[in-house]
């Protein structure tokens, strides 16, 4: 379809007619500023097709304020070798004329066709695939395919509604294109699927678990099955009890008939009688056994007495032997005595000799040592004496020097001050001399004048520093007053200084400065001397002279003591050797003068001492042994005599005889008793009394057990009977039958529900699968067209289309990998771009299906960036190869590279 | 001429889980009704005694109410009822019988044959030799003692036993509670009344199974009857003994039937529908369907089955072997178009698989939904 010409008149801002002629088959770029009438033209095209010419609700078409205007639209377009001419006038002088002419090139010779009014409008709706409203203005829901392809300002991104409105037209258009698929698009499939969903939901949850009635029934069935199991268990128990009852009854009858415990009791009694007999024997036996004890004790006693006698005899023998032995011992000891005494004497002598030698040696040693010490002492003393004398001399000097220093000491500050004062006074004196009033006199001899207190005679000169009275005898007085202020001031200063000097001299105890200076010099010399002497003294007597004197004293005393000792020692030495020589044994040749080693002497003494100890000990031991032997000899003799007397007494023999007789009698009696007991014991053992006792116990407990078991059985029987009576009343098996009944019925119901649920699931699955497959087949051609455009905008991207053939998800590969994004979540610009792409794809699809296509874009893609816009222009240009495109824009500069000459609306309207 | 009513296997207390609750209750109730009918029949026939050959009760522990109801149902006949314990109600140490006695439910004219010893009825002219079960099962022939049992020669010797006659009932060869096939002859019995086999069956001239008086299996074996037995004179006294005259009398309420319908042709379904219309109200029917049906025939059959179910006592349908094959006409009628056609085709295929019945059910559901849809559309169109 190609729009050739458009003319509007009395329509909104175009009160004067406007015509767009020679519209191109591809892109037509219509530009103009805002409010130049672009949207009005779009509205005019829409009105020409969509609005009923009879409609009175299109007053918006009239120019503002002109209610009498008759808006008119005239269109010419080509479609399949036909030229269509449409002229439509609204509101006033309404009419609609459609003329369809064969083009000259057409082979057909058919005449042209003219349609009017509704008929014309219906033809247009059929051609383009839209519908008219029943009454009133045409709305989006009527626009069908043009609604999809004629894109209003700012609506490029909104696709869903447009597609929905185009749905039927699109489907029927596609149906033709897709051949048999048109039939496949089931008329009631979705309704059926929904019904199946609903029915399934009543039985199964979303996760396929039983729900509602199905669930209730299944739970009830489980409950019944549990109950059934429980009843079965109870019935089994009941049956076991019934069997037990039968057994018990039989046993009870046997018990009553046989009474087995009675026979057992009889056996018990027989065994008891036997046992009693044996016990009697045992009693007699015990009596005899008791006899045995006393008899034995008597025997033991007799034997003990006889043994005592025998023991005494043996003791006597032992005593005799002992006595002899003691005597022998005594004799031997006595014989050794003299030898021992001799040895002791010798040892003592040797010891004394050794001791004397040792003393001698020690004295000699002491003497030598004393002599040596004394020599040292004498030397020390000599040195000490010298030091002391020297020290005392130095000390005396020091004392004197210090006293002198004390005397001559002078305060250096005062001295300095005195120097200054003297100096100042001298200077003052000179100045006073200079200015003083000189009184020169030259008196006749013998004449005297008295100036002040001074008597002047002869000649001379007096300096008057202060007023003075010159008494001239007999003449009167002459008052001389020295002139000038200075003189009195100087006099005062002189006075002050003189006083100060006097004071200082007094303080320093000197007559004048020279003396003071001499004293200061003397002080210095003394101090140096004292220091030298102090050093000398501390070297001579570092700890003081007193200590030195004490040391000297101590040494002298020591010298005296040691001297005395040496004298004594020497004396004894000169005397002792003589003694020693006399007392020494001949074989011990000892030279008195020869030096005797004290250590050796000590060792000899030690040896002699040990020998003496041994000899003394031997002597002492011998004495002890001798005494002991004597006492032993005495006592053993006594003992032997006493025993001998006792044994030889006559009554003792008689006693021994009678004892022997009694022993013989007792032994005979014991033997008889033993024989009797032995015989009876055999009898008792043969009867096995312990076994008999066991028999009695065994039979008794068997009887007891037998009887109590019978009683227990009877008890159990009674209990079981009443228990079963109670159980029978419950009608367990009837309950079970009823339970089983409920179970089976529920099983059937559950089975039916299960089968229904499975059938519904199966049906649902198949319906969905088939529907899905169909949808995919329908989508395939659209997808092809979409991909053609999409690859220009987003290379390697995929755009998936939903069941309503609306793009809903884009898949792109970016830095973050493959990303799936819902179209609705994209930016406005991207949505508009994809919206246009989709519409172009629909147009392609429709064109293939032989439908007319015309694309109108009113100010599209204003939100696209330059890159995207460039791509979109390629897409648009590509689409325009197949479809006529009317592109209205107020931004001609954006579209300069679109390959189409822009038509400016402004200039044309001014025509 | 002495006359008896021989019956057995009342199985009082049995429940029927295979049926819907209300049907199950009615069928269980029918067993009491059967006993009342027996009492009425005994009175009408003026029999000398009613012989009940075991399994009066279905279980040992039935409720006291059930016990009382049973004995109450005997009221219609004042003569002697001779009740023998069977394997279901054996005379155990504690049994339904001891319970019945304890609660005082047993009327004076009811004799419980709990011991294997002769019971003499000199006035009526017969002696009863019972073989009660005192254990749930036994492998010994409890009727063996009949051979040695002495009874006065002028009295009829009537044996009463519960078990399987050896060698005659092929399927129960190894079963418990055996009874020697020639017992009647060996024990010189005039009649041996047997129970345990639920169908009516004659073993020899003097030995019969009466079968249960109320049918409870889909087995056409003469169940639902009782036997009227007339005996001329004691065998021992007769020179040429005549066999007893045994006449079956119908007792049961419900007729249990099992139909197997293999549907191949369109007419098969129609024939089945016609046959269903003839069903009597006391029918308990088990219908096994196999073969194939198109959707419309299936819908018609479903409707007919719905009607039949409303009329007869119980209708149990096993359609597991049935396949649905939608025809083009079906699809057109249901306006199956688009991908639904593919779904129908797949379901049809799947009926051959492991879970064929689920596919069939799914197909039925889909067909129902489509019909519903069409009728909605129809309404929409009409309005």
Looking at the complex, does the CB of residue B373 fall below 8 Å from at least one CB of chain A? yes
d(CA A15, CA A591): 184
Region of A814 (left: φ > 0; alpha: ψ -120 to 50; beta: rest) is: beta
Query: Domain range for residue B222?
Result: 3-250
Q: How many interface pairs between A and B have CB atoms less than 8 angstroms apart?
A: 156
Q: Which pLDDT score, from 0 to 100, does residue A385 have? A: 87
pLDDT above 90 for B56: yes
Confirm if A719 and B94 have CB atoms less than 8 A apart: no
Q: How confident is the model at residue A199 (pLDDT cuts 50, 70, 90)?
A: confident
The shortest C-alpha distance from A755 to chain B (Å) reads 6
The answer to whether the CB atoms of B340 and A186 lie below 8 A apart is: yes
d(CA A782, CA A250): 95
- Tabulate helix, strand, coil % of chain A (nearest 5): 70, 10, 20
Last residue of a domain, one of A512, A541, A556: A512
User: B242: how many CB neighbours lie within 10 A of its CB?
Assistant: 11
The token duo for B30 is: 């029918």
CA geometry: angle at A256 spanning A251 and A259, to 5°?
100
B376 and B326 assigned to the same domain = yes
The shortest C-alpha distance from B125 to chain A (Å) reads 35
Closest Cβ opposite residue A242 in set B64, B66, B94: B94
The answer to whether the CB atoms of A733 and B335 lie below 8 A apart is: no
d(CA A665, CA A667): 6
- DSSP label of B282: T
Q: How confident is the model at residue A741 (pLDDT cuts 50, 70, 90)?
A: confident
Last residue of a domain, one of A448, A480, A512: A512
d(CA B370, CA B269): 22
Q: Is residue A517 part of a domain?
A: no
Going by C-alpha positions, the residue among A753, A764, A763, A745 that lies closest to residue A213 is A753
Confirm if B261 and B240 have CB atoms less than 8 A apart: no
Q: Is residue A447 part of a domain?
A: yes
Residues of A in contact with B369 (CB under 8 A): 192, 195-196
User: A469: how many CB neighbours lie within 10 A of its CB?
Assistant: 15
d(CA A623, CA A336): 11
What H or E segment, with its residue span, contains residue A82?
strand A82-89
Q: Is residue A903 part of a domain?
A: yes
Segment among B37-41, B221-225, B232-236 with least mean pLDDT: B232-236
Q: Which pLDDT score, from 0 to 100, does residue A583 have? A: 44
pLDDT above 60 for B229: yes
The answer to whether the CB atoms of A186 and B337 lie below 8 A apart is: yes
Looking at the complex, does the CB of residue B362 fall below 8 Å from at least one CB of chain A? yes
B308 and B233 assigned to the same domain = no
Last residue of a domain, one of A490, A512, A534: A512
Confirm if A758 and B364 have CB atoms less than 8 A apart: no
The answer to whether the CB atoms of B343 and A770 lie below 8 A apart is: yes
B196 and B286 assigned to the same domain = no
Chain B residue closest to A748 (CA)?
A: B18
pLDDT above 70 for A184: no
B22 and B102 assigned to the same domain = yes
pLDDT above 50 for B120: yes
> Which ranges of A442-597 does DSSP label H, i.e. alpha helix?
485-508, 513-540, 545-583
The token duo for A865 is: 């960036």
Phi, psi (deg, nearest 5) at residue A11: -125, 110
Q: Is residue A131 part of a domain?
A: yes
Looking at the complex, does the CB of residue B99 fall below 8 Å from at least one CB of chain A? yes
The answer to whether the CB atoms of B16 and A741 lie below 8 A apart is: yes
Q: Which pLDDT score, from 0 to 100, does residue A230 have? A: 93
Q: At which residue do the structure tokens 């020297």 appear?
A: A390
The answer to whether the CB atoms of A192 and B373 lie below 8 A apart is: yes
Q: Which pLDDT score, from 0 to 100, does residue B239 have? A: 62
Last residue of a domain, one of B229, B250, B271: B250
Residues of B in contact with A239 (CB under 8 A): 136
Q: Is residue A284 part of a domain?
A: no
CA geometry: angle at B125 spanning B122 and B131, to 5°?
85
Chain B residue closest to A192 (CA)?
A: B369
Looking at the complex, does the CB of residue A337 fall below 8 Å from at least one CB of chain B? no
B238 and B314 assigned to the same domain = no
Residues of B in contact with A729 (CB under 8 A): 64, 99
B281 and B222 assigned to the same domain = no
Phi, psi (deg, nearest 5) at residue B258: -125, 120
Q: Is residue A755 part of a domain?
A: no
d(CA B58, CA B38): 18
Interface test with chain A among B26, B59, B61, B344, by most A beta carbons within 10 Å = B61
Looking at the complex, does the CB of residue B260 fall below 8 Å from at least one CB of chain A? no
Q: Which pLDDT score, from 0 to 100, does residue A116 have? A: 86
What is the number of residues in chain A? 911
| Average pLDDT of the residues in A155-165 | 78
The shortest C-alpha distance from B375 to chain A (Å) reads 13
Based on the structure, what is the number of domains in chain B? Answer: 2
Interface of B with A in 317-336 (CB under 8 A): 335
The answer to whether the CB atoms of A734 and B63 lie below 8 A apart is: yes
The shortest C-alpha distance from B337 to chain A (Å) reads 5
Mean of per-residue pLDDT scores for chain A: 83
Q: Which residue has the higher pLDDT, A494 or B26?
A: B26
Residues of A in contact with B362 (CB under 8 A): 759-760, 762-763, 766
Interface of A with B in 696-735 (CB under 8 A): 721, 724-725, 727-735
| Average pLDDT of the residues in A893-899 | 83
Q: How far are the Cα atoms of A708, A709, A730, B68, B95 from residue A716, in angstroms, in the given order?
A: 12, 10, 21, 30, 18
d(CA A435, CA A422): 20
Query: Domain range for residue A100?
Result: 2-159+806-909
Chain B residue closest to A744 (CA)?
A: B17
Q: Which pLDDT score, from 0 to 100, does residue A589 have? A: 42
Looking at the complex, does the CB of residue A185 fall below 8 Å from at least one CB of chain B? yes
Interface of A with B in 242-281 (CB under 8 A): 242-243, 245-246, 249
pLDDT above 70 for A576: no
Interface test with chain B among A190, A220, A731, by most B beta carbons within 10 Å = A731
Confirm if B158 and B191 have CB atoms less than 8 A apart: yes
Beta strand pairing call for B164-165 and B178-179:
parallel
Going by C-alpha positions, the residue among B119, B39, B36 that lies closest to residue B84 is B119
B233 and B302 assigned to the same domain = no
B105 and B224 assigned to the same domain = yes
The answer to whether the CB atoms of A725 and B94 lie below 8 A apart is: yes
The answer to whether the CB atoms of B59 and A733 lie below 8 A apart is: yes
Crossing angle of helices A828-848 and A866-880, in 10° steps, is 10
Looking at the complex, does the CB of residue B187 fall below 8 Å from at least one CB of chain A? no
Q: How far are the Cα atoms of A212, A296, A304, A310, A565 from residue A299, in angstroms, in the given order?
A: 113, 5, 9, 17, 96
pLDDT per residue over B273-311, tens digit each? 988 888 888 899 999 998 888 888 888 888 999 999 888
Going by C-alpha positions, the residue among B224, B244, B223 that lies closest to residue B235 is B244
- DSSP label of A849: T
Based on the structure, what is the number of domains in chain A? Answer: 2
What H or E segment, with its residue span, contains residue A196?
helix A189-203
The answer to whether the CB atoms of A734 and B350 lie below 8 A apart is: no
Q: At which residue do the structure tokens 């064969």 appear?
A: A102
Segment among A275-284, A445-454, A656-665 with least mean pLDDT: A445-454
pLDDT above 80 for A387: yes
Q: Which pLDDT score, from 0 to 100, does residue B112 have? A: 93
Q: In CATH, what number is assigned to the domain containing residue A127?
A: 3.40.50.300
Region of A102 (left: φ > 0; alpha: ψ -120 to 50; beta: rest) is: beta
pLDDT above 90 for B130: yes
Confirm if A42 and A888 have CB atoms less than 8 A apart: yes
B200 and B79 assigned to the same domain = yes
d(CA A474, CA A130): 182
Last residue of a domain, one of B206, B225, B250: B250
Going by C-alpha positions, the residue among B132, B50, B147, B126 that lies closest to residue B91 is B132
The answer to whether the CB atoms of A737 and B366 lie below 8 A apart is: no
pLDDT per residue over A591-625, tens digit each? 444 567 778 888 888 888 898 898 889 888 888 88
pLDDT above 60 for A182: no
Q: How confident is the model at residue A590 (pLDDT cuts 50, 70, 90)?
A: very low
pLDDT above 60 for A178: no
- Rounded to a whole number of angstroms, the distance between the first and last alpha carbons of chain A is 28
Q: How confident is the model at residue B97 (pLDDT cuts 50, 70, 90)?
A: very high
Q: How large is the ipTM? A: 0.82
Going by C-alpha positions, the residue among A320, A308, A309, A321 that lies closest to residue A641 is A320
Interface test with chain B among A733, A747, A771, by most B beta carbons within 10 Å = A733
pLDDT per residue over A524-539, tens digit each? 888 888 888 888 888 8
- pLDDT above 90 as % of chain B: 33
pLDDT per residue over B164-223, tens digit each? 888 776 555 557 788 888 888 898 899 999 998 888 989 888 999 999 999 988 888 888
d(CA A733, CA A228): 10
Q: Which pLDDT score, from 0 to 100, does residue B340 have? A: 81
Going by C-alpha positions, the residue among A612, A577, A601 that lies closest to residue A355 is A601
Confirm if A385 and A552 have CB atoms less than 8 A apart: yes
- pLDDT above 90 as % of chain A: 4
The shortest C-alpha distance from B366 to chain A (Å) reads 8
Q: In CATH, what number is assigned to the domain containing residue B97?
A: 3.60.21.10
| Average pLDDT of the residues in A838-861 | 85
Going by C-alpha positions, the residue among A754, A735, A751, A755 that lies closest to residue A224 is A735
Q: Which pLDDT score, from 0 to 100, does residue A159 have? A: 78
Phi, psi (deg, nearest 5) at residue B249: -125, 130
pLDDT above 80 for A759: yes
Residues of B in contact with A195 (CB under 8 A): 369, 372-373
Confirm if B347 and B359 have CB atoms less than 8 A apart: yes
- pLDDT above 70 as % of chain A: 93
B112 and B44 assigned to the same domain = yes
Q: Is residue A363 part of a domain?
A: no
Collect contacts of A626-632 with beta carbons under 8 A, ≥24 apart.
A626/A330, A626/A333, A626/A334, A626/A337, A629/A326, A629/A329, A629/A330, A629/A333, A630/A330, A632/A326, A632/A329
Residues of A in contact with B61 (CB under 8 A): 235, 238, 727-728, 730-734
| Average pLDDT of the residues in A568-595 | 54
Q: Which pLDDT score, from 0 to 100, does residue B381 have? A: 52
Q: At which residue do the structure tokens 């295929």 appear?
A: B349
B74 and B210 assigned to the same domain = yes
pLDDT above 50 for A674: yes
Last residue of a domain, one of B250, B279, B298: B250
d(CA B349, CA A454): 184
């Amino acid at each position: 379809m190609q729009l050739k010409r458009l003319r509007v008149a009395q329509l909104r801002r175009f009160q004067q007619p406007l015509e767009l002629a020679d519209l191109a088959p591809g892109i037509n770029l219509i530009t103009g500023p805002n409010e130049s009438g672009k949207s009005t033209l779009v509205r005019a095209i829409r009105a020409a097709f969509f609005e009923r010419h009879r409609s009175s609700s299109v007053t918006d078409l009239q120019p503002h304020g002109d209610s009498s205007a008759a808006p008119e639209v005239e269109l010419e377009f080509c479609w399949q070798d036909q030229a269509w001419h449409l002229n439509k006038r609204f509101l006033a002088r309404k009419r609609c004329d459609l003329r369809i002419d064969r083009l000259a090139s057409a082979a057909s010779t058919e005449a042209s066709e003219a349609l009017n009014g509704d008929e014309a409008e219906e033809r247009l709706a059929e051609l383009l695939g839209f519908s008219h409203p029943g009454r009133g203005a045409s709305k989006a829901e009527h626009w069908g395919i043009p609604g999809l392809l004629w894109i209003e300002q700012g609506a490029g991104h909104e696709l869903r509604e447009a597609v929905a409105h185009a749905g039927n037209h699109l489907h029927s258009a596609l149906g033709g294109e897709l051949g048999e698929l048109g039939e496949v698009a089931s008329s009631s499939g979705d309704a059926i699927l929904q019904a199946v969903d609903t029915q399934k939901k009543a039985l199964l949850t979303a996760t396929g678990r039983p729900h509602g009635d199905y669930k209730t029934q299944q739970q009830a069935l489980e409950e019944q099955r549990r109950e059934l199991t429980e009843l079965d268990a109870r019935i089994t128990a009941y049956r076991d009890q019934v069997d037990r009852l039968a057994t018990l009854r039989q046993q009870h009858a046997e018990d009553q008939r046989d009474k087995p415990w009675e026979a057992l009791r009889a056996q018990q009694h027989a065994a008891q009688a036997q046992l009693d007999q044996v016990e009697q024997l045992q009693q007699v036996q015990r009596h005899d056994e008791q006899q045995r004890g006393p008899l034995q004790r008597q025997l033991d006693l007799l034997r003990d007495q006889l043994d005592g006698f025998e023991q005494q005899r043996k003791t006597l023998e032992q005593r005799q032997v002992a006595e002899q032995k003691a005597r022998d011992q005594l004799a031997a000891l006595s014989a050794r005595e003299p030898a021992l005494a001799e040895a002791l004497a010798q040892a003592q002598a040797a010891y004394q000799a050794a001791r004397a030698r040792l003393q001698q040696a020690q004295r000699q040693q002491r003497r030598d040592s004393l002599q040596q010490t004394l020599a040292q002492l004498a030397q020390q003393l000599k040195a000490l004496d010298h030091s002391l004398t020297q020290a005392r001399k130095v000390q005396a000097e020091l004392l004197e020097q210090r006293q002198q220093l004390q005397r001559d000491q002078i305060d250096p500050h005062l001295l300095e001050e005195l120097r200054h004062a003297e100096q100042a006074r001298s200077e003052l004196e000179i100045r006073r001399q200079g200015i003083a009033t000189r009184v020169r006199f030259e008196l006749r001899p013998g004449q005297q004048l008295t100036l002040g207190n001074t008597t002047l005679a002869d000649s001379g000169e007096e300096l008057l520093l202060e007023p003075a009275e010159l008494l001239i005898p007999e003449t009167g007085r002459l008052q001389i007053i020295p002139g000038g202020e200075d003189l009195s001031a100087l006099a005062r200063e002189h006075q002050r200084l003189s006083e100060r000097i006097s004071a200082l001299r007094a303080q320093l105890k000197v007559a004048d400065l020279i003396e003071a200076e001499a004293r200061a010099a003397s002080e210095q010399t003394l101090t140096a001397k004292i220091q030298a002497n102090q050093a000398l003294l501390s070297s001579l007597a570092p700890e003081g002279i007193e200590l030195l004197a004490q040391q000297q004293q101590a040494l002298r005393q020591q010298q005296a003591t040691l001297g005395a000792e040496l004298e004594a020692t020497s004396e004894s030495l000169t005397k002792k050797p003589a003694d020693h020589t006399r007392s020494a044994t001949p074989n011990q040749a000892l030279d008195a003068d020869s030096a005797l080693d004290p250590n050796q002497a000590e060792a000899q003494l030690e040896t002699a001492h040990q020998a003496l100890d041994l000899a003394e000990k031997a002597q002492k031991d011998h004495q002890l042994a001798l005494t002991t032997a004597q006492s032993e000899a005495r006592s053993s003799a006594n003992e032997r005599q006493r025993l001998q007397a006792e044994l030889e007494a006559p009554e003792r023999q008689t006693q021994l005889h009678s004892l022997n007789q009694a022993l013989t009698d007792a032994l005979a009696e014991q033997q008889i008793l033993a024989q009797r007991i032995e015989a009876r014991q055999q009898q008792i053992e043969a009867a096995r009394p312990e076994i008999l006792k066991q028999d009695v116990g065994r039979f008794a407990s068997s009887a007891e057990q037998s009887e109590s078991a019978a009683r227990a059985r009877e008890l159990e029987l009674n209990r079981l009977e009443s228990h079963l009576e109670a159980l029978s009343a419950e009608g367990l098996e009837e309950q079970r039958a009823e339970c089983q009944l409920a179970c089976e019925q529920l099983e059937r119901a559950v089975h039916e529900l299960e089968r229904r649920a499975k059938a519904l699931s199966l049906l649902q699955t198949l319906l969905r699968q088939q529907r899905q497959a169909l949808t995919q087949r329908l989508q395939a051609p659209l997808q092809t067209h979409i991909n053609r455009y999409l690859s220009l905008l987003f290379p390697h991207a995929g755009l998936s289309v939903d069941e309503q053939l609306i793009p809903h998800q884009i898949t792109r590969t970016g830095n973050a990998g493959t990303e799936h994004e819902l179209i609705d979540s994209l930016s406005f610009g991207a949505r508009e771009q994809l919206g246009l792409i989709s519409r172009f794809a629909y147009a392609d699809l429709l064109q293939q299906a032989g439908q007319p296509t015309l694309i109108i874009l009113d100010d599209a893609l204003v939100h696209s960036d330059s890159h995207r816009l460039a791509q979109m222009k390629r897409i648009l240009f590509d689409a325009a190869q197949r479809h006529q495109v009317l592109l209205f824009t107020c931004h001609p500069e954006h579209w300069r590279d679109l390959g189409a000459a822009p038509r400016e609306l402004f200039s044309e309207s001014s025509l | 001429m002495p006359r008896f009513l021989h019956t057995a296997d009342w199985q009082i207390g049995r429940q029927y889980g295979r049926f819907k609750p209300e049907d199950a209750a009615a069928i269980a109730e029918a067993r009491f009704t059967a006993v009342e009918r027996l009492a009425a029949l005994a009175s009408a026939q003026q029999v000398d005694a009613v012989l009940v050959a075991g399994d009066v009760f279905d279980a040992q522990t039935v409720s006291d109410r059930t016990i009382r109801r049973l004995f109450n149902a005997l009221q219609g006949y004042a003569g002697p009822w001779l009740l023998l314990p069977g394997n279901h109600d054996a005379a155990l140490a504690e049994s339904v019988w001891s319970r019945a006695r304890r609660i005082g439910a047993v009327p004076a004219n009811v004799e419980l044959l709990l011991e294997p010893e002769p019971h003499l009825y000199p006035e009526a002219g017969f002696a009863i030799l019972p073989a009660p079960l005192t254990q749930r099962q036994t492998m010994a022939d409890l009727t063996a003692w009949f051979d040695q049992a002495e009874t006065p020669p002028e009295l009829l010797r009537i044996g009463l036993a519960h078990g399987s006659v050896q060698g005659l009932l092929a399927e129960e060869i190894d079963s418990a509670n055996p009874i020697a096939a020639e017992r009647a002859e060996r024990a010189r019995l005039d009649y041996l009344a047997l129970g345990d086999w639920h169908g009516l069956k004659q073993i020899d001239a003097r030995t019969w199974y009466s079968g249960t008086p109320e049918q409870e299996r889909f087995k056409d074996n003469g169940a639902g009857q009782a036997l009227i037995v007339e005996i001329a004179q004691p065998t021992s006294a007769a020179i040429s003994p005549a066999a007893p005259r045994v006449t079956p009398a119908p007792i049961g309420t419900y007729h249990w039937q099992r139909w197997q319908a293999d549907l191949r042709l369109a007419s098969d379904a129609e024939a089945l529908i016609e046959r269903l219309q003839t069903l009597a109200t006391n029918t308990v029917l088990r219908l096994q369907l196999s073969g194939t049906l198109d959707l419309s025939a299936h819908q018609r059959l479903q409707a007919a089955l719905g009607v039949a179910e409303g009329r007869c006592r119980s209708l149990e349908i096993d359609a597991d072997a049935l396949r649905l094959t939608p025809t083009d006409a079906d699809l057109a009628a249901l306006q199956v178009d688009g991908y639904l056609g593919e779904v129908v085709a797949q379901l049809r295929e799947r009926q051959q698989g492991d879970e064929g019945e689920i596919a069939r059910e799914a197909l039925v559901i889909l067909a129902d939904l489509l019909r519903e849809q069409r009728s909605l559309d129809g309404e929409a169109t009409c309005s």
